[in-house]
Amino acid sequence: MPEITVVGLGPGDFGLISLETLNILQAQPRLLLRTAKHPAVDGLVSRGINFESYDHFYEQYASFEEVYEAIARDCISRAGRDGTIIYAVPGSPQVAERTVVLIRDLAAAAGIAVRIMPGMSFLDILFARLGVDPVNGLTVVDAADIAKLPPSFHTALVVTQVYNCQVASDAKLSLMEYYDDDFGITVAHNLGLDSEEIRTIPLFELDRLPDIDHLTTLYLPRRTLLKPDSPLAPLESIMARLRSPGGCLWDIEQNHSSLRRYFVEEVYEVLEAIELADADKLCEELGDVLLQVVFHARIAEECGDFSLQDVVNVVTEKLIRRHPHVFSDITVQDAAEVIVNWDKIKRREKSGERPGILDGVPQNLPSLMRAFKLQLKASKVGFDWNNVDPVWDKLSEELEELKQAVAVGDKPAMEEELGDVLFSIVNLARFFDIEPETALTVTNNKFIRRFAYIEDWVKNKELDWKKITIEQLDLLWNEAKGSETK
């Protein structure tokens, strides 16, 4: 079977080539170089190793992608004709080498084997010089592909193939979509050579450097996710510290799943503060909810999913899109029309994402809230009564069916019928524009207050709960109710 062996010439002088690669280069007569503009090539010449290079392809084609495709096709053609070839690339074949990817794809279809030998990469020298550990997050991208980076990327960045000032200029403009103009970047030139030079400059000066060539690499540290003057920046910084090595062991161990219950608890504490009309408590509890948002965003950032700035950007853009009557020339008559427009825009944004009418209602919502949202979605397509009278009738019907299930002692039926009663009550609440979860929360808090009144009375009288009759307790309950009314 024809075979292409791909080797790396290392990131610098000939001494950085592996011994295994050297043995292959000396043993095989057909050696093709992606480019002879590499410091290790002098070592090939001095050892009498013959080769051909594809440097002339760079003059024949208009873009680097066309050059890479032409090189890959030629390698496949030569392997098919000669049986075995050696293809050598700068650095490591497995790092930022587009031609190797293309060769592997074409070879699979042509029935040609591809053997890739490990080699030292320019990244190894870069990491050593800058003291960078890639385990903390790193993205490597060809200068021509910077614009393809997702908006949410937030790792440190290495830009390769910065061949000349024109490429540097294009790269600068693309990078300015992600970084401030004066963001400090590191320019590494001639890594591994005696003439090696590493300097840090503001991004806007990149294409003004006089010595940019094929041995130029850029390193950009992780972006600051929020501007230093952002009100969220201190909180984000504290959370990053807590999650970093040497931070808080508990915070470091958390993930999205483990934090779920805390998020729910904090939201309900906000609702309680609103119910109590306690501004100080509300301020504190909103801060706790915000902490949960920052916590989740930090975890997502560490996983490479999104950043806190992305969270802010997404909701900002959503608010602008869904309020065209404020941010564009759309006009509305009243709040009801605002809601109609909001729903239309939301459906358009989610088209294809939620094929079912009831999709999008989270399963983990409290049951009353979930029932309310399910009914609301169904009502928007006409699955609803025109007035509240049939709702009362339905509630009476469900109560009667519950009584029948209780009468025969059918436990599963009792559970089902009680669920139907609750679902009907939620429907009733919806017709009166009452959010049932909030209504029940108000009643729960009211029950706590009134029971505390009874508890204090019993404690002050130094009485035994077991000796108090239900009639006495009922009187105390009415007293508590009366005192609230006053």
Average pLDDT of the residues in 196-219 = 88
Q: Is residue 353 part of a domain?
A: no
pLDDT above 70 as % of the chain = 91
Q: Is residue 429 part of a domain?
A: yes
- Are 36 and 12 found together in one domain? yes
Domain-terminating residue out of 321, 351, 375 = 321
- The tokens describing 416, both together, are 């089902």
List the single range of 113-117, 293-297, 364-368, 427-431 with lowest mean pLDDT: 364-368
- Are 215 and 256 found together in one domain? no
Q: Is residue 86 part of a domain?
A: yes
Domain-terminating residue out of 264, 287, 321 = 321
In angstroms, how far is CA 262 from the centroid of its own chain?
21
- Are 23 and 107 found together in one domain? yes
Q: Is residue 213 part of a domain?
A: yes
Q: Is residue 413 part of a domain?
A: yes
Inter-helix orientation angle 279-302/308-321, to 10°: 110
Domain-terminating residue out of 101, 120, 139 = 120
Band (354; pLDDT cuts 50, 70, 90): low
Q: Give the residue numbers spanning the domain of 249.
A: 233-321
- Are 461 and 406 found together in one domain? no
d(CA 10, CA 43): 12
The number of distinct structural domains making up the chain is: 5
Residue 182 has pLDDT above 70, yes or no: yes
- Are 115 and 98 found together in one domain? yes
Residue 443 has pLDDT above 70, yes or no: yes
Enter the DSSP assignment of 221.
P
Q: Is residue 348 part of a domain?
A: no
List the single range of 256-260, 323-327, 328-332, 460-464 with lowest mean pLDDT: 328-332
d(CA 343, CA 166): 47
Average pLDDT, the chain: 85
Residues 6+ apart with CB under 8 A from 270: 282, 285, 286, 288, 289
Write the CATH number for 202: 3.30.950.10
Residue 357 has pLDDT above 90, yes or no: no
- Are 174 and 191 found together in one domain? yes
pLDDT above 90 as % of the chain = 26
- The tokens describing 3, both together, are 């075979």
Band (352; pLDDT cuts 50, 70, 90): low
Write the CATH number for 423: 1.10.287.1080
- Are 194 and 142 found together in one domain? yes
**Exposed, middle or buried by CB within 10 Å (0-12, 13-18, 19+), for 247?**
middle
- Are 13 and 93 found together in one domain? yes
Q: Is residue 74 part of a domain?
A: yes
- Structural contact between residues 205 and 184, judged by C-beta atoms closer than 8 angstroms: no
For 228-254, the pLDDT digits (tens) are: 567 888 898 899 889 888 889 999 999
- Are 178 and 206 found together in one domain? yes
Residue 68: its pLDDT value, please?
Answer: 93
- Are 374 and 317 found together in one domain? no
- Are 19 and 108 found together in one domain? yes
3-state SS of the chain is CCEEEEEECECCCHHHCCHHHHHHHHHCCCEEECCCCCCCHHHHHHCCCCCEECCCHHHHCCCHHHHHHHHHHHHHHHHHHHCEEEEEECECCCCCCHHHHHHHHHHHHHCCEEEECCCCCHHHHHHHHHCCCHHHCEEEEEHHHHHHCCCCCCCEEEEECCCCHHHHHHHHHHHCCCCCCCCEEEEEECCCCCCCEEEEEEHHHHHHCCCCCCCEEEEECCCCCCCCCCCCHHHHHHHHHHHCCCCCHHHHHCCCCCCHHHHHHHHHHHHHHHHHCCHHHHHHHHHHHHHHHHHHHHHHHHCCCCCHHHHHHHHHHHHHHCCHHHHCCCCCCCHHHHHHHHHHHHHHHCCCCCCCCCCCCCCCCCHHHHHHHHHHHHHCCCCCCCCCHHHHHHHHHHHHHHHHHHHCCCHHHHHHHHHHHHHHHHHHHHHCCCCHHHHHHHHHHHHHHHHHHHHHHHHHCCCCHHHCCHHHHHHHHHHHHHHHHC
Q: Say what the pTM is.
A: 0.44
Residue 293: its pLDDT value, please?
Answer: 96
- The tokens describing 27, both together, are 């043993």
Identity of residue 292: Q
Residue 283: its pLDDT value, please?
Answer: 95
Write the CATH number for 34: 3.40.1010.10
Q: Is residue 185 part of a domain?
A: yes
- Are 421 and 456 found together in one domain? no
Q: How many CA atoms lie within 13 A of 385 on its CB side?
A: 13
For 105-128, the pLDDT digits (tens) are: 999 888 999 999 988 888 888 888
DSSP per-residue string spanning 3-16: EEEEEE-BSSSGGG
Single out the residue of 30, 222, 8 nearest to residue 95, CA to CA.
8
Residue 103: its pLDDT value, please?
Answer: 92
For 384-439, the pLDDT digits (tens) are: 888 899 999 999 999 999 999 999 999 999 999 999 999 999 999 989 988 888 88
d(CA 473, CA 454): 7
